[in-house]
Structure 1
Amino acid sequence: MNVVLIVEDEMLEREFLTMVVRDGLQPEDILLTADSGVEAVRMAKQYRPNIIFMDLMIPDIDGLSAIQEIRKFLPQSCISILSAYSDFSYAQKAISLRVFEYLLKPVKPIAITAVLSKMLKTVSVIEQDVSDEKAEVGKPETNDHEHSHFIEEAIKYIGANFREKLTLETVATKVFVNPKYFSHVFKKEMGIPFTDYIIQLRIQYACRLLETTNYQAYRISLECGFSDPSYFNRVFCAKMNMTPQNYRKSVHALNQNDSSLGASVNG
């Protein structure tokens, strides 16, 4: 059974959303509405919704503040924003709060239905993963096929996006898996924690750039997904036992020796 909460202070908009969302739910599902941020937090505490549609500009406390409060006791709820505001700072804050979708008003019924369908699928998978995780205690090697499937999808996504700001929660959401469960399975399947795997890919890419470009270290750090060049230097030294500059020098020296050796042999 799903519990869906719609938070919208405009009555007509609230009724419209209620009508569209109800059509996508099962008879046993519960659909609730709230018209202010304070009421949204209160109802979320009382009814524990697993799906929430949140407007931003609502009375008492705004939608983002309400989500921030709700996240404290419902970290796994699937929350989407519907708002007339496209300001980047709102979207940025929404991302940090792990919002599922950010929909700009006016939203067509077909778009709401599509997002609801994806949210229902996501919460279903999360709840199943939590159940599987509990069932796995004392039962190693279960669900190997399912593990391989979503880890494979995660690796593809990471490979295409490791140079961007990439969190475990982001990847887990992309493969429709609970973050805690994803972290456990990822380490088991890959042999290293998620964060170490990302760093490993970034350092490998940094080595390639040091070998093939004349980029300064600060640019390479940005190209590889490190926002802080000094942190990049520390991580590189820890992994490669030398600074990026020394790595470049050693590679160039090795290449020159190979070239000289080849010339001597040919001569």
Structure 2
Amino acid sequence: MNIVLIAEDEILELEFLTILVQDMLLPEDKLVTCENGVQAIQLAKQYKPNIIFMDIMIPEMDGLSAIQEIRKFLPNSCITIMSAYSEFSYAQKAVSLKVFEYLLKPVKPNVLKEIFQTMLKSATSDYSLVEEKPKEMSIDTKEDRQFFIEESVKFINEHFKEKLTLETVASKVYVNPKYYSHMFKKEMGVPFTEYINQLRIKYACRLLEITNYQAYRISYECGFSDPSYFNRVFCAKMNMTPQTYRRVKGTPQNCPDF
């Protein structure tokens, strides 16, 4: 038996969800609904739902706060968040609460049906959301992809001088590394490694112009762990060695603008 709780204060959204969910439930299953966070906690305590749909911006107590309380007594419930807000902090908080999915409104009926079917299968097989690692969230729309890429690019631009791997950045936006690699190339027009190398070589050019650092030190300053690899990448990008660049291109305006 499945017990589904929907917390949504927009009447049309609640009606839409209710019709969709009821159409997929069995006669012995139960559906309960509410319009604010306080009611959501009360109903969760009363009915102990194994599946929850929660809007973020609901009255009296926001959805994330309500989930935080519900997790104290229902740690294994499958919870999907629905939100009109794509702020990265919301997504981060959602993952920390081990939500099943984070959906941006408006949600297409076919997408919601697919998500609900997956939640039903997970609930039936007694799937536990208490994992050592946060669940990687799916990213279905172009707007979602652009948002997550923008957030990851901000992180890359701030940390490219450090040891930075595809897996590290993908984990920051909670997506599968292989999918993130494909998504990054599609949105940015260049592969992940190529983008980081562009940033590092541009910074290397700047250091060659304004410092007397040896090439091996510049390679480390730019985030390369291997000076030989740095030299190969630099030569491939600039068609000259770092030493030659310093000798003949030692003015800031000659630094490449990738």
TM-score, with structure 1 as normaliser: 0.50
Residue of structure 2 equivalent to 1:187 = none
What residue in structure 2 maps to residue 90 of structure 1? 90
Using the size of structure 2 for normalisation, the TM-score is 0.52
Counterpart secondary structure, 1:13: helix
Q: Give the equivalent residue in structure 2 for 1:168.
A: 132
Look up the match of 2:44.
Answer: 44
The answer as to 2:27 corresponding to 1:17 is no
Q: Is the 2:84–2:106 Cα contact (8 Å) retained in structure 1?
A: yes
**Counterpart Cα distance in 1 of 2:122 and 2:44:** 19
Q: Give the conservation status (yes or no) of the 8 Å contact 2:51–2:78.
A: yes
**How far is the alpha carbon of 1:84 from its aligned partner?**
0.6
- 1:104 matched to 2:68: no
- How far apart are residue 171 of structure 1 and its match? 6.7
Which amino acid letter does the alignment assign opposite residue 57 of structure 2? M
Q: Is the 8 A contact 1:54 1:81 kept in 2?
A: yes
1:13 positional shift: 1.2
The CA RMSD measured in Å over matched residues stands at 2.7
Higher helix share: 1
CA distance in 2, matches of 1:75, 1:173: 18
Point out where structure 2 has 5 or more consecutive residues left out of the alignment. 139-160, 172-224, 226-258
Distance (Å, rounded) in 1 between the aligned partners of 2:89 and 2:30: 33
Contact 2:40-2:66 at 8 Å conserved across structures = yes
Gaps of at least 5 residues in structure 1 are: 130-166, 175-217, 228-247, 249-267
**4+ residue segments displaced more than 2 Å:** 169-174, 222-225
The sequence identity of aligned pairs, in percent, is 59
Q: Does the 8 Å contact 2:52/2:78 carry over to 1?
A: yes
Query: Which secondary structure state, in structure 2, belongs to the residue aligned with residue 168 of structure 1?
Result: coil
Alignment size in residue pairs: 146
Deviation at 1:172, TM superposition (A): 11
Rounded Cα–Cα distance in structure 1 between residues aligned with 2:136 and 2:105: 28
Determine the C-alpha separation between the residues in 1 that align with 2:112 and 2:137. Answer: 19
Q: How does 1:130-169 map to 2 (within 5 A)?
A: 168-169=132-133
Q: Structure 1 residue 170: deviation in Å?
A: 3.5
Q: Distance in 2 between matches of 1:80 and 1:9?
A: 16
SS in structure 1 opposite 2:76? coil
